[in-house]
Structure 1
Amino acid sequence: MTFHTRSNSFPSRPHPIVQQVDEHLYILRSSEVTSTSSSSINHNLSSLGDLYDCVDRLLQLPLTQQALAQEQNERWTNDLLDGSLRLLDVCSTAKDAVLQTKAYVQDLQSIIRRTRGGESEALTSEVNKYLSSRKMVKKAIQKAMKNLKGIDSKTTFSSLNNDQETVAIVGKLRDVEAITLAVFESLMSFISGPKSKPGSWSIVSKMIPTKKVACEETEANEFAQVDTALHRTSKSNNAQNQLEMLESCIQGQEEGLDSLFRQLIKTRVSLLNILNH
């Protein structure tokens, strides 16, 4: 006698889109998500973009929409919506940080070109504006990081009525949220850089080139290098070169965050459509 049973889980051979989501999750988990190098961070932002392309297709699957639209699972769909809003807030904080820094970097470059690196009231004023803006950026990032640390990424499925399809889908989407938050945390740590040391801010000495480079400057990222150059009282690398490297770094992050922000909005809209279906 043969018995036929109906499985409530993903088929033994998952849908190709589900497999693609798993592959992109694996790539990000295998990468240096916590790395503080600009190349690694830009690579992770790009990988997140690829992941969310797959997530959007996953949310369009009838299997996904049916599972998340069930009334008894409305709580978990709302949790996913809350998560999507949290991700948008963090992404917006990172975007504001890089855009604000970019504006001040460009102003500094303009002043340095006009004054040829010499001391002037305009240059002193612009440096002070940049340093003040960095303080505001760091405060915003610290607040966002504090909010991140308060997030409980663990999910229980006690109210899913043993619906393995929904358990698998919600679990996968929560995995996506967790890896996204990890990348954002790494990015914001990169932007924030090390805490500034107290001391006087001599302007002219920051702008004069030298062959000697402090060890901490060569190891620091682009944001930290400029912060250090504008804070140190000893001679440092040519500030213009450092500002150009920072601007290039910011450009890559700005493009990655712009694209990712649009994808996060698209994901949130898809979840809203499922809930309101």
Structure 2
Amino acid sequence: MAFHTRSNSFPSRPHPIVQEVDEHLCRLRSSEAASTSSSSICHKLSGLQDLHDCVDKLLQLPLTQQALAKEQNEKWTNELLDGSLRLLDGCSSAKDAILQTKECVQDLQSIIRRTRGGESGALTSEVRKYLTSRKMVKKTIQKAMKNLKGIENRSTFSSPNQDNESIAIVNKLREVEAVTLAVYESLLSFISGPKSQPSSWSLVSNMMHSKKVACEEETEANEFAQVDAALNSLTGHKTSKSQNKSVENAQNQLEKLESCIQDQEEGVECLFRQLIKTRVSLLNILNH
């Protein structure tokens, strides 16, 4: 999602909170160019939390409340409310995708521990259940991504009948929405995994090889895609020896994914609470 620099600015010297919002926006825009990894996604989520915390402080300023509470600005305040609802919906989509994957990972880890060295029928069944669940998650993500991209890029708010304060505030909050939606796209794309992948065994072989150089260079891996590949490989092995090796590899990848999910789940949950707080602030201004 492309970002556009706004020409409007707050009159006279910007309030420190406005400057802080700008700094967070700048950092998040810069992070879009970074490689997409679990650590970078968590960093972006943390940045969004800080940004929306500043936005809530901005909404508490008398200048902001007076500007948005004006009767002639009701249309734009309602539009911002609609935007806050879109942000909550997008965050909910990410929460659901993470939670569904987390539950399947835990079930799979449990069955691996119970069947280790024993009957593999139950394990194969659970693996297929996980892979089926992943397909459902990916379809849901594709729909959510389509909804995000379907949001039209609105032009900068400008009206000869509005004061500079109102114009600047509305445009600033629109920038926040645009940056937040862009981070959502990064998160959902990461959970979904690469659109096109090499064969499962090729991916697993590459992952095993990467362990040799892990101490020299940090691997920017997608834990979701690695587990998908490891499990696809596991279902394709017939001999007990090759399957045991695949089970061990799958278990290692599941542990990494579990840690990744934990970090992302915490980040998304904190962001969701902050978004609710911001929406309540907007509602209070409108109903004042």
Query: Structure 2: which amino acid aligns with 1:274?
Result: I
Per-residue deviation at 1:160?
6.3
Q: Does 1:230 align with 2:231?
A: yes
TM-score, structure 2 as length reference: 0.83
Matched, 1:54 2:65: no
CA distance in structure 2 between the aligned counterparts of 1:179 and 1:146, rounded to whole angstroms: 17
Shift of 1:14: 1.1
Q: Please, which runs of 5 or more residues in structure 1 have no aligned partner?
A: 1-8
- Partners of 1:117 and 1:74 in 2: CA distance: 66
Look up the SS of the partner of 2:284 in the other structure.
Answer: helix
Select 2:272's aligned residue among 249, 252, 261. Answer: 261
| Map of 1:18 onto structure 2 | 18
Deviations along 1:202-252, whole A, 9 cap, x unmatched? xxx9xxx9897377xx76400000011112347657111000000000000
The farther-off stretch of 32-41 and 60-69 is: 32-41
Q: Does structure 1 retain, via aligned residues, the 8 Å contact 2:56–2:278?
A: yes
- One-letter identity of the residue aligned with 2:226: Q
Provide closer, same or farther for how the CA distance between residues 225 and 62 of structure 1 changes in structure 2, counting only shifts above 3 A.
same
Structure 2, unpaired ranges of 5+ = 1-8, 211-218
1:158-197, aligned counterparts within 5 Å?
Answer: 158-159=158-159, 161-195=161-195
Counterpart-to-counterpart distance in 1, 2:14 and 2:94? 35
TM-score, length-scaled by structure 1: 0.86
Map of 2:37 onto structure 1: 37
**Which has the higher mean CA deviation after the structures are superposed, 134-143 or 30-39?**
30-39
1:86 aligns to what? 86
Rounded to whole Å, the distance in 1 between the matches of 2:165 and 2:143 is: 37
Q: For 2:129 and 2:92, locate their aligned partners in 1 and report how far apart those are by CA, in whole Å.
A: 22
Q: What is the aligned partner in structure 2 of residue 240 from structure 1?
A: 251
| C-alpha distance in structure 1 between counterparts of 2:119 and 2:220, whole Å | 28
CA displacement 1:103-155 (0-9 Å, x = unmatched): 11011111111112655221112111111111111111000100111112323
Cα contact 1:88–1:261 (8 A) shared by 2: yes
Provide runs of 4+ in structure 1 moved above 6 Å: 196-199, 209-212
For 1:69, the aligned partner's letter is A
Q: 1:212 to 1:260 in 2, by over 3 A?
A: closer
Count of matched residue pairs = 261
Secondary structure (helix, strand or coil) at the match of 2:194 reads: coil
Q: Superposed, which structure 2 residues align to 1:5-154 within 5 Å? A: 10-32=10-32, 35-116=35-116, 120-154=120-154
Q: What is the letter of the counterpart of residue 230 of structure 1?
A: L
Contact 1:24 1:47 in 2 (8 A): yes
- SS of 1:10 mapped into structure 2: coil
The residue aligned with 2:157 is: 157
- What is the identity percentage for the equivalent residue pairs of Structure 1 and Structure 2? 77
> Residue 213 of structure 1: which of 200, 208, 212 is its match?
208
CA distance in 2 between counterparts of 1:65 and 1:105 reads 46
CA distance 1:32–1:84, change in 2 (3 Å): same
Rounded to whole Å, the distance in 2 between the matches of 1:118 and 1:186 is 40
What secondary structure does 1:13 align onto? coil
Which range moved further: 69-78 or 33-42? 33-42
Letter in 2 for 1:213: M
Q: Which deviates further from its counterpart, 154-163 or 253-262?
A: 154-163
Equivalent-residue separation in structure 1 for 2:82 and 2:158 (angstroms):
19
Give the counterpart letter for 2:138 in structure 1.
K
Taking only aligned residues, the RMSD between alpha carbons, in angstroms, comes to: 2.6
Which residue type is aligned with residue 76 of structure 1?
Answer: W
Distance 1:160 1:248 in 2: 53
